Structure 1
Amino acid sequence: MTNSYYLLSILLAISLINSCKQRPEFSIQEGDLLFQDVDCGPFCESIEAVTEGVNQYNFSHIGLVMESANGDLKVMEAVSAGVVLTPIDSFLNRSLDAFNKPKVVVGRVKPQLSHLIPEAISFIHTKMNAEYDPYFDIDNDKYYCSELIHLAFKAANNNEPIFKEQPMTFKSPETNETFAIWEVYFRNLDYDIPEGQPGLNPGGMSRSSYINIVHHYGTPSKKVAL
């Protein structure tokens, strides 16, 4: 009986090891949405203060995985340089958690809407090298990170959005005063703060009922209870 027990234990251990070995690693794919917790100082902190991501994560940036002209997967993102394609490793390693893992969570459009991805990407191809939208104006021909992805899927879905526009706020939830960083920012642009105007943010998009969260590369920071 003892020998049989030990033999059974060994076989079970081998089976578990093989099962772990056979478990497929996560494979990123075209159309995936990369929600990122970027450490960019007061700007990112002010965004995270007034928005909330899935599981209360702090997200201040979003990119979309798509093929480049040579067939490599890269991340399309709208940054200060405009609409660009960034190598995936460069994107992931931009901001790391305490264990040196990327503070990035992957969202994937639900299967019933996956047919929208090719047309959304075609829309984005027409916007490559467009200027960044420093005004957060959803009606001009410039784009910030959330805006372009939202408009791409909206265009692919017969003008029906899958990400919901919300009134933007640049005010501290604690004081109801505009963050000083935004006052300076818009003053330098000679532009009125677009308080209450429609817009989008990565946190809100991560909570869309039309996407599934399929992978965590690392652990973004979370909101601290007041």
Structure 2
Amino acid sequence: MKYLYSVIILLVTFSCSSKKEKLSIQQLKAGDIIFQDVDCGPFCEAINKVTSGVDGKNFSHCAIVASEGDSLFIIEAVGKGVVKTSFDAFFSKETGSGGTLVGRMKPTFSGLAPKASKNAFQYLGKSYDEVFDIENDKYYCSELIYETYKEANNNQEVFKLYPMTYKDPDTNEFFPIWVDYFKELDYKIPEGEAGLNPGGVSKSDYLDIYEINL
């Protein structure tokens, strides 16, 4: 379970759609946000039941493109913490029907992207946030994106926080997978606490969304 990608569940209502044009991996820029539909089993099934991303797609992971010299790579928060990942490793993951999309700051906000990318370096080595607490010094994938862009925007939110829910909308009861997960961690289910997930980030009005040729 500790290798679970960001699996925060919340309901968001932004309107945004993906562009028809596609980007190649070579066209990626520092600060681009990559969204992936990575299979995380029952956790993702629970997530998908209560939220979705842009164009109704499902995403369980997101990460930021960073640069160092002439090299581009990924900085992401995964089970082992916040790490640097090569493009080859990141884009070789098997994805579901949501596939992989790119979020790029709209021209009006493009100045935030390189700042956010640079900010991501300070989180390298930080622990993964298994309990999805926005206040602790640990980070899940979309929380990393939230913090890097907030700092780039003079500590003003770019991506919004919303109350999280871990309940099945059909029964209004907690999903059993979450009950077991938090019981194992000996932690109270953070129902209603502030958070965000990859799908919600993908709907942001700050972003243009592109398909990517892999």
TM category, shorter: 0.7 to 0.9
The structure whose Rg is larger is 1
After the TM superposition, list the runs of 4 or more consecutive aligned residues in structure 1 that deviate by more than 6 angstroms.
none
Aligned AA (1:92) = F
The question of 1:142 aligning with 2:135 is answered no
- SS of 2:174's partner is coil
- SS of 2:51's partner is coil
**Mapped partners of 1:215, 1:176: distance in 2:** 35
Aligned AA (2:88) = D
Q: Spell out, residue by residue over 1:164-221, the C-alpha distance to the aligned partner (whole angstroms, 9 max, x if none).
A: 1110011112221111111111111111000000000000100000000122448xxx
Q: What are the equivalent positions in structure 2 for 1:39-188 lying under 5 Å apart?
A: 39-68=39-68, 71-96=70-95, 103-188=99-184
**Mapped partners of 2:186, 2:106: distance in 1:** 41
Higher helix share: 1
Structure 2 stretches lacking a partner, 5+ long: 1-20
**Mapped partners of 2:28, 2:159: distance in 1:** 21
Q: What are the equivalent positions in structure 2 for 1:3-14 lying under 5 Å apart?
A: none
Aligned AA (1:81) = K
Q: Which has the higher contact order (CA 8 A, sep 6+)?
A: 2
TM-score, length basis structure 2: 0.83
Structure 1 stretches lacking a partner, 5+ long: 1-22, 219-226
**Mapped partners of 2:105, 2:125: distance in 1:** 25
Percent sequence identity is: 49
Contact kept, 8 Å, 2:43 with 2:177, in 1: the verdict is yes
**Mapped partners of 2:195, 2:22: distance in 1:** 38
Structure-2 residue corresponding to 1:38? 38
Aligned AA (2:46) = S
Quick one: structure 1 residues 50 and 25, their matched pair in 2 at CA, closer, same or farther if it must change by over 3 Å? closer
Alignment length, in residue pairs? Answer: 192
